[in-house]
Amino acid sequence: MTLKIDQDHSRFRNIVRGKIRQNLKKYISQGELMGKQGKDVVSIPIPHIDIPRFRFADKQQGGVSQGEGEPGDGVGQGQGQKGDGPGEAGKDAGQHALEVELTLDELADILGEELELPNIEDKGKSAIVDQKDRYVGIRRVGPNSLRHFRRTFKTALKRQISMGTYDPKNPIIIPTRDDMRYRSWKTKDEPVANAVILYMMDVSGSMGDEQKEIVRIESFWLDTWLRKQYEGVETRFIIHDAVAREVDRDTFFRTRESGGTMISSAYRLAAQIIEDDYPPSQWNIYPFHFSDGDNWSVDDTNVCVGLLKDTLLPASNVFCYGQVESPYGSGQFIKDLNEHFGEDERLITSEVKDRDAIMGSIREFLGKGK
């Protein structure tokens, strides 16, 4: 059925896709559909265009609310009272947002739909085989724990009816030994698509908390999406300043170092990890590297290019480099990469200026379905 709003809706979609009205692009942000994932509230990305107005700076404002708590207690998601636009004032007893629990799978679906991500094509590696038990059949003997109640009941019923011992007024069914049915399983060999995500992050002095937060949010979504695509995704974390080391997830997001930046150290370590644990013939490998792009020297950048060319790119499904903008500006590295690998489809670069740019960047990384 067509609606009058369809015209406005498709116009909006076209603006979001960047087909028309380029001047509005800077106001597009990810919206505020809130969903809950376990204890965390996650916002589901839905494109939103803000119309700029004279507004109060949000954080100075605060507001009034009601409920329990002592002065000094946090009030959670407090957004203050966001002034309702006149567009909203019309629907009176209308919207009441409910928070719902979402599974990671659902989140990934929503993300995929919102960003129009293609499903990833497996490299077709089926070297790793896993054995799986599936309950596919029925047999007459088996342990009681696998007894199939309904089938047993049906057989007993059939037998009693055919024997004429079934009384509809007093429908008691008593299965005999012959009536018992049990589930049975078959063991199957299944090829497993295996993937490993290698996160690398620059933790040198110039990467601030905000930059890390951006990396954290972005990697949460990357993680969610890739986990949806592959069973058994492994993740490895590398941090680097002038030297690189492998760390656990928690350290990855919290560490702050202060040294200079030698990106090659991280690439060398990544290459090492791949060589030791993940033979490229059997694994889908996704290295993601986030940095502010301020590499130490041209020489080091050349080393990086060499490592990418010889080891990392041939081994990976796709190598993604995300450059976040630090207070000290955005570095040269992304330009160097684009210069060397501009044509190469295996390397994707993306600039993440601020939080609002995250979704766009994810689309760039995953949009090719590799």
Partner 1 sequence: MSLAYERRLPDYLRAQQVAIEGIAKEAGLEFFPLMFEVLGYDQMNEIAAFGGFPTRYPHWRFGMEYEQLKKSHEYGLSKIYEMVINNNPSIAYLLEGNSIVDQKLVMAHVYAHVDFFKNNFAFKVTDQGVDRRTGEPIRKWLDTFANHGSIVRRWARRIGVEPVERFIDACLSLENLIDPQKPFRPSRAPEKSEEEEALPEELRLLRVDRDYMESFINPEEFVQAERERVAEEKARAKRFPESPDRDVLGFLLVNAPLERWEREVLNVIRREAYYYLPQMQTKIMNEGWATYWHSRLMTEKICDGSEIIDYADRCAGVLATSPGQLNPYKLGVELYRHIERRWDRGQFGREWDECQDYATRAGWDRRTGLGQKKIFEVRALYTDVTFIDEFLTPDFVAEQKLYAFGWSERNDRYEIETRQFREVKSKLLTQLTNAGNPIIRVLDANHENRTELLFEHDHQGVDLRLDWAQEVLAALNRVWKRPVELYTVAEEKPTVLRYDGSEHTRQSR
Q: By CB under 8 A, what part of segment 95-154 binds partner 1? A: 95-100, 102, 110
63 belongs to the binding site for partner 1 (CB under 8 A): yes
Q: Which residues in the 4-33 window bind partner 1 by CB under 8 A? A: 4-5, 7-13, 15, 20-21, 23-24, 31, 33
Cβ proximity of 269 and 275 under 8 Å = no
With binding defined as CB under 8 A, does residue 89 bind partner 1?
yes
Q: How far is the CB of 366 from partner 1 (least distance, A)?
A: 20
270 binds partner 1 (CB under 8 A): no
Q: Which of 83, 118, 137, 329 binds partner 1 (CB under 8 A)?
A: 83
Residue from the set 18, 38, 78, 314 that interacts with partner 1 by CB under 8 A: 78
Q: How far is the CB of 73 from partner 1 (least distance, A)?
A: 5
The one-letter code for the residue type at 223 is: D
Comparison of 66 and 187: residue with beta carbon closer to partner 1: 66
Which ranges in 116-204 belong to alpha helices (H)? 149-163
Check binding of 46 to partner 1 (CB under 8 A).
yes
How many residues bind partner 1, per CB under 8 A?
77
Residues in a beta bridge with 239: 201, 245
Is 169 a binding residue for partner 1 by CB under 8 A? The answer is no
Q: Does residue 216 belong to the site contacting partner 1 (CB under 8 A)?
A: no
Stretch that binds partner 1, among 90-98, 296-304, 332-340, 352-360 (CB under 8 A): 90-98
Report d(CA 300, CA 278) in Å as an integer: 26
How many Cα neighbours within 13 Å face the side chain of 215? 30
Query: Which residue among 22, 40, 86, 169 contacts partner 1 (CB under 8 A)?
Result: 86
Position 87 contacts partner 1 (CB under 8 A):
yes
Give the distance from CA 53 to its chain's centroid. 33
**Contact in structure between 175 and 113 (CB atoms under 8 Å):** no
Exposure string (b/e) for 5-36, b if CB count within 10 Å is 16 or more?
Answer: eeeeeeeeeebbeeeeeeeeeeebbbbeeebe
Per CB under 8 A, the list member of 22, 39, 40, 60 interacting with partner 1 is: 60
**CA–CA gap between residue 155 and residue 166 (Å, rounded):** 13
250, 168 Cβ separation under 8 angstroms:
no
Closest to partner 1 by CB, 13 or 140: 13
Q: Phi/psi at 271 (nearest 5 deg)?
A: -60, -40
107: closest CA among 199, 13, 222, 216?
Answer: 222
